[in-house]
A and B are shown apart, each in its own frame.
Chain A
Amino acid sequence: KKSIFLLMRTNICLTGNLKFCLLILNQPFNKGHFHCLWSRAALRACADGGANHLYHITEGSQESFLPDYISGDFDSIQPEVKEYYKVKGCELIETMDQDLTDFTKCLQILQKKIEKKGLQVDVIVALGGLGGRFDQTMASVETLFHATNITPSPVIVIQECSLIYLLQPGRHKLRVDTGLEGSWCGLIPVGNPCESVTTTGLKWNLTNQVLKFGTLVSTSNTYDNSGTVTIETDKPLLWTMAIK
């Protein structure tokens, strides 16, 4: 039985015992999320063009927001941005593998650094990666599939009002009572049908249900008032939820 406390603003800004790392991906992201996450992250990295967004969103005070490293094939990062962070001493790690996305490669490097530093990490947060180009959203989902083999830490992706998290086969308990949960949530059988899914805590619960594209996909779902959602699944299943 796995338990995860979803990473939300109140946890970080008020109580703040959660140990997490921050990856910045190549999509525009919410300033509110950013500042809240940056200040408390144990490690901070950019995947290629993510550095452009970091550079622009911290305009006027980039010096106070230097990532620990920037990785990627560097086909998206703007030359002046790359030069700036290089001069400031940020580690630039070039990764040429074309079969893996910048996000996946950034995660591999992050895990190595976590191990090297002996860090305890509760969750890895990726900011950006769900908006704009549809193929990039799908690439983010693909990275979540690979993440299981890269790191034991849960990986969540956040952008604007959406969060995604890949549930591995088994039982999961999600606390959804931080006050930052928006109105919708969903269970998406991306990549493979699930033969048997059972939930509690949702408005429309499932009992040993098949979730499969072309049969049934749970979207526009929401919560009952219990503050907790449990999900049991036989195959990998993507959880998605609204952030207020």
Chain B
Amino acid sequence: MERAFTPLECLLPAGNLKFCLLILNQPFNKGHFHCLWSRAALRACADGGANHLYHITEGSQESFLPDYISGDFDSIQPEVKEYYKVKGCELIETMDQDLTDFTKCLQILQKKIEKKGLQGRHKLRVDTGLEGSWCGLIPVGNPCESVTTTGLKWNLTNQVLKFGTLVSTSNTYDNSGTVTIETDKPLLWTMAIKR
């Protein structure tokens, strides 16, 4: 079964894409934020992500209320937590120390997606115009015995990707506008976004 997906479609101003937004505990780009927030079906913060949301929406926090904030609440500022609580946002405390706040936020999100009925081979469209110059394939966590690609400047054919052998970084695109990747194990795709 081939999965087709355009990674940067969520950043395009027009369109029918249905997506959810998770805000994590790192400073982020205002430009991306407004574009994503307005069109997301569900919006959540993982712990201290709420601090960043609160500050980046200063003066109009009321118009940017997340559906829920989850985490062990060791990063969220007390006044931020209080603000969103008073405004009716769901606060979900998750104490499991073996999983990151991001992971737990994702688990909760999936339950809500299912509740709301909102869900091998990979084909990535990279012709949104927002693609930057570099991309890469990173065998984080496990070697991949056989990776085959098309659409890249340096394609792979049944190649091993493995830390200590070969990792694809500083790759880029040919002019086809599509990248296909076939992998036998989980493989991390990374790409540049134009500012």
Q: Could you tell me which A residues sit within 8 Å of B by CB distance? A: 98-99, 101, 133-136, 138-139, 141-142, 145-146, 189-193, 204, 212-214, 216, 219-220, 236
Contact status A138-B141, CB under 8 Å: no
A-B contact pairs, 25 of them (CB 8 A): A98-B154, A133-B192, A134-B136, A135-B134, A135-B138, A135-B170, A135-B171, A136-B170, A138-B136, A138-B167, A138-B169, A141-B163, A142-B164, A142-B169, A145-B163, A190-B163, A191-B140, A191-B141, A191-B143, A191-B164, A192-B141, A192-B142, A214-B141, A220-B100, A236-B163
Inter-chain contacts of B143 with A (CB < 8 A) = 191-192
Count A/B pairs, Cβ under 8 Å: 68
Which chain A residue has the least Cβ–Cβ distance from B132? Answer: A133
**12 other contacts beyond A139-B170, A192-B143, A193-B141, with CB at 8 A cut-off?**
A133-B134, A133-B192, A134-B136, A135-B138, A191-B139, A191-B142, A191-B163, A192-B141, A192-B163, A193-B142, A213-B142, A219-B100
B166 at the interface (CB under 8 A from A): yes
Q: How far is the CB of B195 from chain A (nearest CB, A)?
A: 12
B177 at the interface (CB under 8 A from A): no
Inter-chain contacts of A214 with B (CB < 8 A) = 141, 186
Inter-chain contacts of A204 with B (CB < 8 A) = 97
B2 at the interface (CB under 8 A from A): no
Inter-chain contacts of B100 with A (CB < 8 A) = 219-220
Contact status A135-B163, CB under 8 Å: no
Q: Sorted from nearest, which 8 A-B pairs have the closest CB atoms? A: A191-B163, A213-B141, A135-B136, A145-B164, A135-B169, A139-B169, A142-B167, A138-B138
B98 at the interface (CB under 8 A from A): yes
Contact status A135-B97, CB under 8 Å: no
Q: How far is the CB of B37 from chain A (nearest CB, A)?
A: 23
B77 at the interface (CB under 8 A from A): no
Contact status B98-A216, CB under 8 Å: yes
Given contacts A191-B141, A213-B142, contact A142 B170 (CB under 8 A): no
Q: How far is the CB of A28 from chain B (nearest CB, A)?
A: 16
Which chain B residue has the least Cβ–Cβ distance from A146? Answer: B164
Inter-chain contacts of B163 with A (CB < 8 A) = 141-142, 145, 190-192, 236
Inter-chain contacts of B140 with A (CB < 8 A) = 138, 190-191, 213
Which residues 137-156 of B sit at the A interface, judged by CB distance below 8 A?
A: 138-143, 154
B122 at the interface (CB under 8 A from A): no
B52 at the interface (CB under 8 A from A): no
Inter-chain contacts of B154 with A (CB < 8 A) = 98
A138 to B167, CA, bound (A): 8
A13 to B154, CA, bound (A): 45
Inter-chain contacts of A101 with B (CB < 8 A) = 169-170
A133 to B192, CA, bound (A): 8
Inter-chain contacts of A189 with B (CB < 8 A) = 141
